[in-house]
Structure 1
Amino acid sequence: MKSDAEELMPRLLPVDSCDTEEYTLTEPPRNPQEYLRFVQREASLCPDVVVAQIDPKKLKKQSVNVSITGCLAAPEGFSPSFKWQQQQVSRFSEVRQSVNKHRQHWKAQFLDDNVVMPKTEDEDGWKRFCFGENVCLEIQLKEEDGVNPGLDYVKTGFPPFLSIVSKLSQSTVSAVLEYLINWFEERDFVPQLGRWLYALLACLEKPLLPEAHSLIRQLARRCSAVRANLESKDDDRLSALNLMICIVARYFEQNDLADKE
């Protein structure tokens, strides 16, 4: 009688069992038939079900921290309307389509000699590249420095030109996004941060990888925390903070983080 395993998994290489020539398992197979009989015999000696004996004392305790908290509610009058959020999502979608359309063109263009992009793993280099020395070193601008602030990119940071972001791979986009969000966790919102976050989100491909999914949720929560401490609706940071929350929640479908009217 065939075993249950044989009924479910018929033999693909049947072995002639009527071979009169004796063969011992202690000797190496001399031909294909002996080899197949050897394998068949070994398989018949294996139990159908094997249970591993694990000593619980040898297992290391492991814990995984998963944050499921949402955004902090906006102070009264600080939350954007649903119509405004729809408009921003529509505009952001158009920007993403434009980036994808022109990516190959700009990717083939040469950068200026003064634009030296850091390596993906160079976290400090990317912070200086995006923010500039003034922000990274917390240097206060003098009044005369504000006449042409965009000319010295080493001090003010390079804007996220399409010619630059088009050259970033998805792994680099995720890495730089992580660097900037981690920087934002300990510091205030600055214009350079807003520009780069918007550009990187526009380059982030869907569907999101788990790491990117976690990062953008971290970003929205941080924006809501900064917004909750604003003292005036006229604060220049409010619109940018609302925009970041809106993009994460509405465009990337993290609906539990969205601002409600």
Structure 2
Amino acid sequence: MMASDSDISDDALLSQALPTTRIPDNFNPSLPPTSAEEYLQHVVWEARQCKEVVTVDVDRKKLKKPGSIIKKQVKATAPYGYAPSSETQQELLAAFSKLRAQIANLRSSKQIPKSPVSLPGLKNHQEWCKLCFGNSFQLALLKKANRDTTQPPLVEGQEPLLSIVLNIQQRGLQNLLEWHAQWLEVLGFSEAQGRWFYALLACLEKPLIPESCSQIRHIARMCAQIRSSLTSPEHPFLPHLNVIICIVARYFNQEDLADG
């Protein structure tokens, strides 16, 4: 029969686990034990120094001190007539999903076409900028930074062909998204960049790593901010911006960034 809690006394709970000799009168706790018996005597002595009840003095002033407030980043609201309808968003997602399925089939078949151009290294952001936008974009960056440079012959950027983006490793895609976000902050939006954003998102594998998720949310918020500053719902940038915002919010499940 098992003893009930009421049958167990405090003495039983605190009963001695190991037999020890009485602590001698000349016991010196500052001296290290030289035997197992002296070690147990030290343990018993230290246990006797502990209070049965321990309290902590709390500084009430610190409890009343307000903590730091982190402001949540929110998406800029689209002006009336700028955001796509639910039907349009469904069409955009259907087209994007179809492209993703095509990319998945190419990857699984191992029949990825060879890139028509030589791709820069994964960390060479200057060469990637030149590949995506040509040197006019780089010259604009230099002008923005107030750097004088000789005008070279104009070089056109590359379209984000499947034969190019499918030959970029996932780490490279993540780097490109980060760089494109930086270029967007510096020089604003362009239709060429909208096409590159679309291609990179199409090739980005799910589930997203936290860094990529944070990056595409940042891009969607910037696109929403740019959209809110457009002068007309007929602006040529508007369809591109809406596509990026819709894909990030709906396809990659960032619903707090969705329109409508």
- If the length of structure 2 is used for normalisation, what is the TM-score? 0.65
Q: Paired residue for 2:224? A: 224
Judged with a 3 Å threshold, the aligned counterparts in structure 2 of structure 1 residues 253 and 123 are, in CA distance, closer, same or farther, namely same
What SS class does the counterpart of residue 155 from structure 2 fall into?
helix
* Residue-by-residue CA offset, 1:201-236 (whole Å, 9 max, x unaligned): 001111110000000000100001101110011100
User: Which of residues 96, 110, 130 is equivalent to 1:92?
Assistant: 96
Judged with a 3 Å threshold, the aligned counterparts in structure 2 of structure 1 residues 121 and 251 are, in CA distance, closer, same or farther, namely same
What SS class does the counterpart of residue 246 from structure 2 fall into?
helix
Q: Paired residue for 1:135? A: 137
Q: Is the 8 A contact 1:130 1:158 kept in 2?
A: yes
- Aligned pairs for 1:173-184 (under 5 A) are 173-184=173-184
What SS class does the counterpart of residue 155 from structure 1 fall into?
coil
* Residue-by-residue CA offset, 1:81-119 (whole Å, 9 max, x unaligned): 011111111111110110111235553x4434xx12110
Q: Paired residue for 1:57? A: none
Q: Paired residue for 1:210? A: 210
Q: Paired residue for 2:127? A: 125
- What is the CA–CA distance in structure 2 between the aligned matches of 1:90 and 1:75, rounded to whole Å? 25
Could you list the structure 1 runs, at least 4 aligned residues long, displaced by more than 6 angstroms after superposition.
64-67
Q: Paired residue for 1:168? A: 168
Q: Paired residue for 1:238? A: 238
Q: Which has the higher contact order (CA 8 A, sep 6+)?
A: 1
- Aligned pairs for 1:18-97 (under 5 A) are 68-97=72-101
Using the aligned pairs only, state the percent identity: 39
Q: Paired residue for 1:200? A: 200
* Residue-by-residue CA offset, 1:43-76 (whole Å, 9 max, x unaligned): x99x9xxxxxxxxxxxxxxxx9977422100011
- What is the CA–CA distance in structure 2 between the aligned matches of 1:67 and 1:182, rounded to whole Å? 22
Judged with a 3 Å threshold, the aligned counterparts in structure 2 of structure 1 residues 244 and 67 are, in CA distance, closer, same or farther, namely farther
- What is the CA–CA distance in structure 1 between the aligned matches of 2:185 and 2:105, rounded to whole Å? 33
- What is the CA–CA distance in structure 2 between the aligned matches of 1:90 and 1:170, rounded to whole Å? 23
What SS class does the counterpart of residue 80 from structure 1 fall into?
coil
- What is the CA–CA distance in structure 2 between the aligned matches of 1:194 and 1:177, rounded to whole Å? 12
Q: Paired residue for 1:157? A: 157
Partner letter of residue 185 of structure 2?
A: E
CA drift of 1:78 comes to: 0.8
Structure 1 vs Structure 2 CA RMSD: 2.5
- What is the CA–CA distance in structure 1 between the aligned matches of 2:82 and 2:70, rounded to whole Å? 29
Q: Is the 8 A contact 2:134 2:158 kept in 1?
A: yes
Judged with a 3 Å threshold, the aligned counterparts in structure 2 of structure 1 residues 65 and 251 are, in CA distance, closer, same or farther, namely farther
- What is the CA–CA distance in structure 1 between the aligned matches of 2:102 and 2:121, rounded to whole Å? 26
- What is the CA–CA distance in structure 2 between the aligned matches of 1:86 and 1:193, rounded to whole Å? 23
- What is the CA–CA distance in structure 2 between the aligned matches of 1:229 and 1:76, rounded to whole Å? 12
- If the length of structure 1 is used for normalisation, what is the TM-score? 0.65
- What is the CA–CA distance in structure 1 between the aligned matches of 2:219 and 2:230, rounded to whole Å? 17
- What is the CA–CA distance in structure 1 between the aligned matches of 2:167 and 2:71, rounded to whole Å? 33
Partner letter of residue 191 of structure 2?
A: P
- What is the CA–CA distance in structure 2 between the aligned matches of 1:163 and 1:182, rounded to whole Å? 25
- What is the CA–CA distance in structure 2 between the aligned matches of 1:195 and 1:73, rounded to whole Å? 23
Partner letter of residue 165 of structure 2?
A: V
CA drift of 1:136 comes to: 2.3
Partner letter of residue 102 of structure 2?
A: S
- What is the CA–CA distance in structure 2 between the aligned matches of 1:95 and 1:183, rounded to whole Å? 26
CA drift of 1:256 comes to: 0.3
The alignment covers a number of residue pairs equal to 184
